[in-house]
Structure 1
């Protein structure tokens, strides 16, 4: 149901629910935030009705009761380069159809009137039924951010059977080839990437960008993985780029909606693109080679520190976790300490999840067991259970205290490593 327009607005004003709320309702998906377009009103009308203006670049208001966003119908005209180069025009004479025409995809340009009637001038409902993501018109090329938005929507919608319209993909290629993506600021790229990583199929994001020739401009470190061979006995999919896609989707499966896990999974194998050609398909030391590109990618996109730090340690340590049963208790302790797992215990749980995604993100191995994840968590819990207070109570202090705590934790790890007694 849509919310009725506030009674205090003039009688000629019409209010419509628009965008994602209408789209998701038609798809039968859980409702999210609701956005409204107001046709026929002035800024003064909105303020007089009790709405609070919050938009700076164009008139957006908060409903006095629900707090939901209401925007005056507007048009946009290209006036400069990049996604910020637009002149916005909001006026009571702007029609609903004109407002919908400025949007990106047909499935996002459907409005619902107060009586429930759909207004769908671009066939969005038809495309929803056909499971097609299609641009509205030629103005699509004016905003380079739409290339990322298309890929991000595919990350969400591909599991529902959606495909990208061929003519939309052609426009995206045109934009990528024309260098328009260079106008994107890092923060916006990260926002779209993070949303994709929180979606059901981040791999669809990568595939869509790559098909458009845009992945090399947005994520060159990831694009470089495609075509790099791996040993078939460990990676039946062979191609490192395909492995990366499988790992991203497995991470989304193991940790739904978690872009922290998703980003670490995305970066874990970046070092494989730097393996010398003469040693392929082996990838000796790729875990260490991957640290530099992981940091470079994180800095370029201004990724949050927590994401960068987890990605670096997962890149560096994932092979050690795969062979966890071969490590001595002291080595396991030092690995945990190196990851700051005693001060930040959640890191070890995250590391276990990313490594499981890596192990199961391989052709034919999605259902494979990965006991190392449970073992790592058990050894970590055993080490965390050692209390420094008990050691201090014995009168141990200074450097001796640190040594005693380490030895006690190693002993706890050794005990937890022993096979369980029947």
Structure 2
């Protein structure tokens, strides 16, 4: 049995980037042997095991055969006689098909190091075309490593275009598509991710709310995204930038039609409801109370945090108002329901009187 470090850990180590997780391929073993050594099996479709101490994933070397459509239509073979080179051949890009053995030596049968040096994303084999999810993965890698000068190899771009033209992306589930979008959002380069998909005419299938990427609104969005802190370039802020550019997000039900998580959709609805109030000409304690009520900020302060996170990117004035909102929420928290009840108020009167007291307390921020 031989164990090799593979994939992203080797790639990022060679690029001098932090290694976030380590994945291993095991050659010459069986599920029974892995379990006997204390590994815990977690994979159902093919054997993946957790190391008994580090909990790093160890997958048995395998090959795949396409059967049916989509990214799930594969039959896996994980016999002990499968070689490392056969396992690496099934991977998407040459830069992800480099392995390191336990002595530290690199095994690179598909010239991944050469492509790393040339800053090229190139598919390993024609098997790439059997998995439509890889179109999104390449777009994501192109975005993640754009700042390092990486580009997509022309032959890989052409293969991706054929996959889009053949309708392969239509076989992807919305949940799986969202996972790739979210990963790219967290990488902080959704603009590059979207541009790659736009170049393939794939945006209508993946993110139709960004389908006008090359239009005036699209240019506006690019300019807005360029102003954002890469650490904050998440879906909320992308949606905020879109909204400011007058894109028609209301034409889509992101949660139902595209499986965007509820938390993101709720944050966008909060922006649509509260941001106009925050931007208004009237800025006084009553305005702040209106925002707090819109967001139920006393019970769910995280909604106010997300609103301010987006609003701060728009102007210094809104950033200042967000500072005031944060202080105001602290002052409002000092008003207790029991104190109002002790004064004899009941039912709906309690909230009305509490709001009055909160407004009085917040007045100190304006004096």
TM-score scaled to structure 1, two decimals?
0.80
Q: Secondary structure at the match of 2:109?
A: coil
| Alignment-derived partner of residue 324 in structure 2 | 375
Q: Does the CA contact (< 8 Å) of 1:269 and 1:315 recur in 2?
A: no
What is the distance in 1 between the residues matched to 2:361 and 2:229?
33
Deviation per residue, 1:382-410 (Å, 9 max, x gap):
33343333323323222221111111222
Contact 2:188–2:231, Cα closer than 8 Å, also in 1 = no
Aligned to 2:238: 266
Q: State how far apart, in whole Å, the 1-side matches of 2:84 and 2:3 are.
A: 10
User: Which SS does the other structure have where 1:114 is aligned?
Assistant: coil
Matches of 1:393 and 1:368, distance apart in 2: 40
- Give 1:394's match in structure 2, choosing from 331, 334, 343: 343
**What is the distance in 2 between the residues matched to 1:369 and 1:305?**
26
CA contact (8 A) 2:224 2:241 kept: no
CA positional deviation for 1:202: 2.0
**Of 163, 181, 186, the match for 2:151:** 163
Where 2:180 maps in the other structure, the secondary structure is helix
Q: Pick the aligned partner of 1:355 from 302, 311, 323.
A: 311
Residue equivalent to 1:91: 79
Deviations 1:286-310 (A, max 9, x none): 7xx64453xx122223222222111
Is the contact made by 1:82 and 1:183 (CA closer than 8 Å) also made in structure 2?
A: yes
* Cα separation, 2, equivalents of 1:372 and 1:390: 29
SS in 2 for 1:198: helix
CA shift for structure 1 position 134: 1.9
Partner of 1:154: 142
Q: Distance in 2 between matches of 1:207 and 1:79?
A: 31
Change (3 A) 1:14 1:159: same
Distance 1:59 1:254, change over 3 A: closer
Matched, 1:74 2:71: no
The CA distance in 1 between the partners of 2:346 and 2:357, in whole Å, is 15
Listed as ranges, the gaps of 5+ residues in structure 2 are none
Give the secondary structure class of the aligned counterpart of 2:92: coil
> Which secondary structure does the structure 2 equivalent of 1:343 belong to?
coil
Contact conserved, 2:93 with 2:121, CA < 8 A, in 1? yes
Q: 2:176 aligns with which of 188, 207, 211?
A: 188
Matched residue, 1:336: 292
Matched, 1:124 2:101: no
- 1:144 to partner: Cα distance: 0.7
Which residue of the other structure, out of 221, 243, 266, is the alignment partner of 1:244? 221
CA deviations on 1:168-191 (whole Å, 9 max, x unpaired) are: 222222222221111111111111
Q: CA deviation at 1:252?
A: 4.8
Residue number among 356, 361, 366 corresponding to 1:412 in the alignment? 361
1:225-264 deviation line (CA, Å, top 9, x unaligned) = 541xxxxxxxxxxx322333344455553537xxxxx222
**C-alpha distance in 1, partners of 2:277/2:220?**
19
Structure 1 residues 21, 225: CA separation in 2 closer, same or farther (over 3 Å shift)?
closer
TM-aligned CA distance change 1:40 to 1:132, over 3 Å: same
Q: Distance in 2 between matches of 1:301 and 1:290?
A: 12
Q: Which residue of 2 aligns with 1:110?
A: 98
Per the alignment, residue 279 of structure 2 pairs with 322
Q: Conserved in 1, the CA contact under 8 Å of 2:142 and 2:193?
A: yes
Distance of 2:18 and 2:307 partners within structure 1: 31
Partner-residue secondary structure (3-state), 1:195: helix
Q: Which one of 1, 9, 28 corresponds to residue 40 of structure 1? A: 28
Aligned length: 367
Match of 1:306 among 238, 263, 280: 263
2:6–2:25 CA contact under 8 A, matched in 1? yes
Give TM-score scaled by structure 2 length. Answer: 0.91
Contact 1:106 1:127 in 2 (8 A): yes
